[in-house]
C-alpha cells in the first residue's frame, strides 16, 4: 500500500464507521475524498507537512477532512476515528467484504446482536439469529452465510495490484545491496496470480546474513516476523514477504522450485524420475548411477509422497552427478524442456508442451511491449478524472499508437448522471474529433455501453452505429445463475454494434464474486460475431481471468487488454492485464491491442 493509499484507507474506515453509527451524507464526502487522496499523483504526506491548506487543494477534500489528513500524518492516528473504533469495535473492513453487508448493516448487527467479526457473523447466521433482526429475514441470512467464505478468503489473500508494488520495492532494495548477486521474486507473484498469499523473494549471495540484515532493514517492512541466517519474513503493507538466500550456483534450481506451482513442480519432478534424474531446490542430479544413496529400498524414494522439499524421504539432497541448477533455463534444459514462462506453471498442459519429446509447443506469449494502445478508458465526461486531451496526451507520451475514449453511457448500474445519454454522446463526438485533429496518435471515439439483465444494450442502436467502437459491459444484476449469465452475455456479444465485451463477470476481487458464465459458449459466440473479449487490467478486476482467456482463445476468439483507466496513472495497470492474458496462453496474434490502427478500424467494421 502506498502512503496515499494508507491515508485513504483511514478516511474510508472513518466513513464506514460514521455510516455504521447512522450518520448520513458525511460518510460519502469522506469516501470521495479518500478516492482522490488515493489517486493523487504526488505524495499527500508532503502536502500534509505543508499544512491543511495544501491538502485542501486536492479536489473534494474540504477543510475538515484536510485537518484529519494532517493529524494522521503528524500523529499516526485520527482522534475521532479512535473514538468511533471504541464506540463500535467492529472489524468493518472484513465484515463489509461480505456481499450485501454494508456499513449500515454492520451497525445494525452490532447493536442488535453484538456482532464484531466474521466468525461471530457466521455463528449468528448459522444459529438463525439474524433473520429475526428487523429488516433482515431468512433470505438475507442465507445470502450472508453464502458470502462469508468468499469474504474470509478475501481477508487472507492480497490483490496482485497491491502485492506487486511491494514485491518490486523489496526487490529493488535488495538488488542495490553489494552482497546480492541475483534477486528475483518467485511463488504466485512471479506467476502473476490475481491474488497472492505471500510474496516470495529469492536472493543469490555468499554473504547470507548480510542479506538477511539488509532485508529486515528494508524501509517497506512494517514488522519483522522472523529472521534466521538464510531466511527471513517481514510484514509489509499488510502482506507477508518471505526471503530466502541461496548459493549462486543453486539459484536457478531454487528459483524453479520456489516459483511453483506445487502442481507444476510435481509434474516436472515426475518427468525427471522417468529419465533417471532428480530435481530439487539444489539442482538437477543424474541418479541413474546411484543405486540407492542411503542403503534402503530405492523405491521408497518417491518424491511425491511426504516429501515437501523434493529431496526424497531419505533426506539426501545432493546425490549423484549434478548436471544443472545455476540457471533456471538450464534446469528445464536438463529435463529436455523449453524454459516454461512462470505464468503457465499450473500443470495445465505446459509440461507436455515444453517437452522436446512431445507433440506440443509452448505458445509465444504476448508481451507488454506488443500493446500499442488502450481500447477502454474514461474521461471527465463520465467518472474519469481528466479531460479527453489529457488522456490522449498521456497515451501518446506512453508511446501508444492509438487511444479509445469510451466513457460510460447512461444505463443500469451507472449512478446518477455519470453516464452519457445519446445527445451527450453526440456532443462528445465533436470534442473527441477536435482533440483527434491535433493528436499525434489515432484517437477512436467509443462508449462503454451497459448490458441490461436480459443482455440488451441500453443505448440506441443509431447512436452506437455512429461510433468507432462499442465496449459493452455488465454493471448491474450480477447475482444471477450461470445459465442466465451465459445467455445474457451471448446476446450482448452478438449485438451487431458491440466490438468488445468489457469485464465479462463483473467481479471485484476480494469484494464481489460477479457472474460465473460459461466462457467457452460466450467465446464461441464472440468468435462468430467478431467481438473481442476483454481482459480488464484493473487489478481489482482482472476480468476475464487466465482460465477464461484460454477457453476463449481455444475457440478462436479475440482478446482485448484494456486498462479501463480513469486517470493517466492507471495506464500502468496494463502489465497486470498482459500477464493475466499470458496466464491464458495468449499470443500476440490473439490480442486486439497489438494491431495497427488500420487493422483495428477493419475489426470494428
User: 258 contacts which partner out of ligand DGT, Zn ion, Ca ion, none, CB within 5 to 8 A by kind?
Assistant: ligand DGT
Nearest approach, Cβ of residue 442 and Ca ion (Å): 41
Q: Look up residue 572 and give its DSSP letter.
A: G
Residue with smaller CB distance to ligand DGT, 150 or 603? 150
User: How far is residue 351's CA from residue 365's CA, in Å, rounded to a whole number?
Assistant: 16
175's enclosing H/E stretch is helix 160-175
Cβ neighbour number for residue 297 with a 10 Å cutoff: 8
User: Does position 564 bind Zn ion by CB under 5 A?
Assistant: yes
Q: How far is CA 258 from CA 156, 201, 561, in A?
A: 20, 9, 29
Contact between 359 and 312 under an 8 Å Cβ cutoff? The reply is no
Chain residue at closest Cβ approach to Ca ion:
187
User: Does position 187 bind ligand DGT by CB under 6 A?
Assistant: yes
Nearest approach, Cβ of residue 243 and Ca ion (Å): 10
Residues 190-229: x where in contact with Zn ion by CB under 5 A, - otherwise, as a string = ----------------------------------------
Angle, helix 546-554 to helix 574-583, in steps of 10 degrees? 60
Residue with smaller CB distance to Zn ion, 312 or 506? 506
With the C-alpha atoms ordered 312, 314, 317, 323, is the resulting torsion angle positive or negative? negative
Among 60-68, 193-201, 530-538, 577-585, the segment contacting ligand DGT (CB under 6 A): 193-201
243 bridge partner residues: 201, 232
User: 448 contacts which partner out of Zn ion, ligand DGT, Ca ion, none, CB within 5 to 8 A by kind?
Assistant: Zn ion
Looking at residues 203 to 262 of the shown chain, list those that interact with ligand DGT (rule: CB under 6 A): 257-258, 260-262
DSSP string, 428-465: HHHHHHHHHHH-SSEEEEEEEEEE-TTS-BSS-HHHHH
User: Does position 200 bind ligand DGT by CB under 6 A?
Assistant: yes
CA dihedral 518, 525, 581, 220 (to 10 degrees): -50
User: How far is residue 289's CA from residue 442's CA, in Å, rounded to a whole number?
Assistant: 64
Bond before 544 cis per omega within 30 degrees: yes
Among 46-54, 211-219, 235-243, 579-587, the segment contacting Ca ion (CB under 5 A): 235-243
User: 373 contacts which partner out of ligand DGT, Ca ion, Zn ion, none, CB within 5 to 8 A by kind?
Assistant: none
Cell readout for 293 is 544413496
Residue with smaller CB distance to Zn ion, 4 or 538? 538
Among 188-196, 330-338, 478-486, 524-532, the segment contacting ligand DGT (CB under 6 A): 188-196
Nearest approach, Cβ of residue 547 and ligand DGT (Å): 16
Chain residue at closest Cβ approach to ligand DGT:
260
Helix intervals (H) in 457-537? 461-466, 482-494, 519-529
Residue from 187, 310, 506, 546 binding Ca ion (CB under 5 A): 187
Nearest approach, Cβ of residue 263 and ligand DGT (Å): 8
Nearest approach, Cβ of residue 266 and ligand DGT (Å): 6
Residue from 13, 99, 122, 200 binding Ca ion (CB under 5 A): 200
Contact between 244 and 182 under an 8 Å Cβ cutoff? The reply is no
Binding site for Zn ion (CB under 5 A): 448, 564
Binding site for Ca ion (CB under 5 A): 187-188, 198, 200, 242
Amino acid at each position: 500500500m502506498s502512503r496515499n493509499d494508507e491515508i485513504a484507507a483511514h478516511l474510508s474506515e472513518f466513513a464506514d464507521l460514521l455510516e455504521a453509527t447512522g450518520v448520513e451524507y458525511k460518510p460519502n464526502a469522506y469516501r470521495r475524498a479518500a478516492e482522490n487522496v488515493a489517486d493523487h499523483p504526488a505524495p499527500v504526506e508532503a502536502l500534509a507537512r505543508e499544512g491543511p491548506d495544501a491538502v485542501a487543494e486536492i479536489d473534494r477534500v474540504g477543510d475538515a477532512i484536510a485537518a484529519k489528513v494532517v493529524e494522521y500524518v503528524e500523529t499516526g492516528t485520527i482522534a475521532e476515528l479512535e473514538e468511533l473504533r471504541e464506540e463500535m469495535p467492529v472489524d468493518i473492513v472484513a465484515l463489509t467484504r461480505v456481499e450485501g453487508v454494508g456499513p449500515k448493516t454492520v451497525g445494525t448487527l452490532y447493536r442488535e446482536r453484538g456482532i464484531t467479526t466474521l466468525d461471530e457473523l457466521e455463528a449468528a447466521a448459522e444459529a438463525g439469529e439474524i433473520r429475526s433482526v428487523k429488516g433482515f429475514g431468512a433470505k438475507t441470512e442465507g445470502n450472508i452465510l453464502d458470502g462469508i467464505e468468499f469474504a474470509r478468503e478475501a481477508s487472507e489473500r492480497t490483490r496482485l495490484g497491491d502485492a506487486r508494488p511491494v514485491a518490486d520495492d523489496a526487490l529493488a532494495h535488495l538488488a542495490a545491496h553489494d552482497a546480492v548477486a541475483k534477486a528475483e521474486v518467485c511463488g504466485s507473484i512471479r506467476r502473476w496470480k490475481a491474488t497472492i498469499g505471500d510474496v516470495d523473494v529469492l536472493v543469490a549471495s555468499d554473504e547470507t546474513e548480510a542479506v538477511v540484515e539488509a532485508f529486515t532493514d528494508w524501509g517497506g517492512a512494517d514488522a519483522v516476523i522472523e529472521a534466521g541466517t538464510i531466511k527471513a519474513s517481514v510484514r509489509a503493507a499488510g502482506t507477508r514477504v518471505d526471503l530466502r538466500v541461496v548459493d549462486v550456483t543453486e539459484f536457478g534450481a531454487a528459483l524453479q522450485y520456489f516459483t511453483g506451482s506445487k502442481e507444476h513442480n510435481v509434474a516436472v519432478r515426475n518427468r525427471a524420475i522417468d529419465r533417471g534424474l532428480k530435481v530439487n531446490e539444489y539442482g538437477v542430479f543424474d541418479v541413474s548411477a546411484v543405486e540407492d544413496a542411503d542403503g534402503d529400498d530405492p523405491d521408497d524414494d518417491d518424491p511425491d509422497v511426504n516429501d515437501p522439499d523434493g529431496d526424497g524421504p531419505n533426506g539426501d539432497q545432493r546425490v549423484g552427478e549434478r548436471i544443472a541448477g545455476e540457471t533456471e533455463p538450464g534446469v528445464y534444459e536438463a529435463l529436455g524442456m523449453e524454459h516454461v514462462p512462470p505464468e503457465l506453471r499450473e500443470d495445465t498442459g505446459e509440461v507436455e508442451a515444453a517437452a522436446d519429446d512431445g507433440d506440443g509447443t509452448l505458445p509465444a506469449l504476448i508481451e507488454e511491449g506488443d500493446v500499442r494502445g488502450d481500447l477502454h478508458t474514461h474521461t471527465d465526461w463520465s467518472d474519469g478524472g481528466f479531460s479527453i486531451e489529457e488522456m490522449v496526451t498521456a497515451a501518446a507520451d506512453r508511446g501508444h499508437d492509438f487511444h479509445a475514449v469510451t466513457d460510460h453511457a447512461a444505463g443500469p448500474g451507472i449512478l446518477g448522471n455519470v453516464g452519457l445519454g445519446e445527445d451527450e454522446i453526440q456532443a462528445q463526438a465533436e470534442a473527441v474529433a477536435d482533440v483527434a485533429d491535433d493528436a499525434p496518435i489515432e484517437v477512436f471515439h467509443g462508449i462503454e455501453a451497459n448490458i441490461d439483465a436480459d443482455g440488451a444494450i441500453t443505448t440506441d442502436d443509431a447512436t452506437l452505429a455512429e461510433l468507432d467502437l462499442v465496449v459493452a459491459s455488465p454493471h448491474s444484476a450480477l447475482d444471477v445463475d450461470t445459465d442466465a449469465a451465459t445467455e445474457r452475455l451471448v446476446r450482448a456479444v452478438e449485438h451487431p454494434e458491440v466490438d468488445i465485451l468489457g469485464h465479462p463477470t463483473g467481479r471485484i476481487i476480494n469484494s464481489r464474486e460477479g457472474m460465473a458464465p460459461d466462457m467457452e459458449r460466450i467465446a464461441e459466440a464472440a468468435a462468430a460475431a467478431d467481438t473481442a473479449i476483454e481482459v480488464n487490467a484493473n487489478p481489482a478486476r482482472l476480468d476475464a481471468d487466465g482460465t477464461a482467456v484460454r477457453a476463449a482463445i481455444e475457440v478462436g476468439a479475440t482478446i482485448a487488454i484494456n486498462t479501463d483507466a480513469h486517470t493517466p496513472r492507471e495506464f500502468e495497470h496494463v502489465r497486470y492485464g498482459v500477464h493475466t492474458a499470458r496466464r491464458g496462453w495468449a499470443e500476440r496474434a490473439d490480442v486486439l491491442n497489438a494491431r495497427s490502427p488500420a487493422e483495428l478500424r477493419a475489426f470494428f467494421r
